[in-house]
Amino acid sequence: MKKDIFKVAGKTLKSRLIVGTGKYRNFLETAKAIKASGADMVTVAVRRVNILDKKKPILTDYLNPKKIILLPNTAGCFNSDEALRTLRLAREMGGWKLVKLEVLGDKKTLYPNMIETIKSTQILAREGFKVMVYCTDDPLLAKELENNGASAIMPLASPIGSGLGIQNKVNISLIIKQSKVPVIVDAGIGTASDATIAMELGCDGVLVNSAIAKAKKPILMAKAFKNAVVSGRNSYLAGRMIKSHLALASSPFKGLI
Amino acid sequence: MAKIQLNGKKVLFKSNCSLFDLLKKYKLTNKKVAIEHNGVIVPKINYKKINLKNNDKIEIVHFIGGG
């Protein structure tokens, strides 16, 4: 069997699970959960340094960028200018060209503003960034992103942090079928089985934050997600049986006493 | 003294000091940070070349936890 390799924006990843680093109780828990998840790529946000407390530890004291790929995101940006500013700063910080773009459009749902998202994708791609793009699950808009240079399409399963799981499997499937770049379900995953479902649909990867960080035992949940993604991928590669509306006996009738 | 705005807060800093000196003061020279000087992102190699002036607006950012 051909080796199943996950390559995104020129980087080969061992795990198809990408995890976020937000909402944990502390940095130690963040680091332990990441380790348990087996992820080799994690998302990070860009914010002001706290100048009032010089001694406070910071996230990068706990994450070694040599061992783990940091994927800077634009969470909290509501227009193209803010997102571009954030990612250009991130590039200066670490020399990263691989970034996650998310331009939000609504404070209640944190739904992406796709017009600004497409605009930003185009500019960033021209500047040489490799852009993984958070987007709605609309196949036409996903295609538009790909045509504008997105390195990965990241449709939401459901609103960010909602834990509602995949709401529109049909759309996610359509996006997977048409895309030539990796499709990674991002946002709304609530529990390990949601990740398995995404992988069984044929997603290339899954991005999870709240479902792990907000679990009662985040480190155990991180492990659950690691296995869920592997199971879902294997199940997809194995190819599921055909569904039937009637029973088909598992034991032969021949030789029945 | 130069009156600068650092990460949205008014801060007094010695005149003729560079961005590198500013990082040193906040113990950030060995940390992964990026600087915006009056709205322009400063490449790391220029930290020692740029001196702070009155009314400069400085943003120092870093990576924090996020999804």
Structure confidence at residue A65 (pLDDT) = 82
Q: Strand A205-208 and strand A17-20: pairing?
A: parallel
Any A CB within 8 A of B51 CB: no
Q: Helix (H, G, I), strand (E, B), or coil: what is residue A190?
A: coil
Any A CB within 8 A of B10 CB: no
The complex's ipTM works out to 0.91
CA distance A158 to chain B (A): 14
Q: Would you say residue A149 has pLDDT above 90?
A: yes
CA distance B56 to chain A (A): 16
Q: Would you say residue A179 has pLDDT above 90?
A: yes
Nearest chain B residue to A59 by CA distance is: B64
d(CA A204, CA A247): 33
Q: Would you say residue A3 has pLDDT above 90?
A: no
CB A48 within 8 A of CB A88: no
d(CA B62, CA A90): 8
Amino acid at B53: K
From chain B, the residues in CB contact with A30 under 8 A are 65
pLDDT digits (tens, 9 = 90+) for B6-51: 999 998 888 789 999 999 998 888 888 999 999 999 999 999 999 9
Distance from chain centroid for Cα A62: 21
Q: Would you say residue A2 has pLDDT above 80?
A: no
Homologous superfamily assigned to B2-62:
Beta-grasp domain (3.10.20.30)
Closest CA to A95 of B28, B6, B41, B19: B41
Catalytic residue (one of A100, A130, A223, A226): A100
What single DSSP character describes residue B44? G
Q: How confident is the model at residue A121 (pLDDT cuts 50, 70, 90)?
A: very high
Q: Given its phi and psi angles, is residue A9 left (phi above 0), alpha (psi -120 to 50 degrees) or beta?
A: left
State whether A24 and B65 contact (CB < 8 Å). Answer: yes
d(CA A20, CA A166): 18
Q: How confident is the model at residue A20 (pLDDT cuts 50, 70, 90)?
A: very high
Q: Across residues A98-111, what is the average pLDDT?
A: 95
Least CB–CB distance from A49: residue in B41, B44, B62: B62
Residues of chain A contacting B, Cβ within 8 Å: 20-24, 27, 30, 43-49, 51-52, 54-55, 58-60, 65, 70, 72-73, 75, 85, 88-90, 92-94, 160-161, 187, 207, 209-210
CB A225 within 8 A of CB A192: yes
CA distance A180 to chain B (A): 25
Q: What is the separation, in whole angstroms, between the first and last Cα of chain A?
A: 42
Q: Helix (H, G, I), strand (E, B), or coil: what is residue A60?
A: helix
Structure confidence at residue A60 (pLDDT) = 84
Counted across chains A and B, CB pairs separated by less than 8 A come out at 104
d(CA B58, CA A83): 19
d(CA A193, CA A195): 5
State whether A47 and B61 contact (CB < 8 Å). Answer: yes
Closest CA to A230 of A16, A36, A42: A16
Amino acid at A49: V
Structure confidence at residue A1 (pLDDT) = 63
pLDDT digits (tens, 9 = 90+) for A48-102: 998 888 778 888 888 888 889 999 999 999 999 999 999 999 999 887 899 999 9
CB A195 within 8 A of CB A172: no
Q: What is the DSSP string of A65-124?
A: TTTSEEEEB-TT--SHHHHHHHHHHHHHHH---EEEE--B--TTT--B-HHHHHHHHHHH
d(CA A5, CA A256): 47
CA distance A48 to chain B (A): 4
pLDDT digits (tens, 9 = 90+) for A185-224: 999 999 999 999 999 999 999 999 999 999 999 999 999 9
Structure confidence at residue A141 (pLDDT) = 97
- Annotated active-site residue A100? The verdict is yes
CB A206 within 8 A of CB A17: yes
Burial class (CB in 10 A: 0-12, 13-18, 19+), A226: buried
CA distances from A146 to A11, A73, A102, A122, B36 (A): 18, 18, 15, 10, 31
Distance from chain centroid for Cα A145: 16
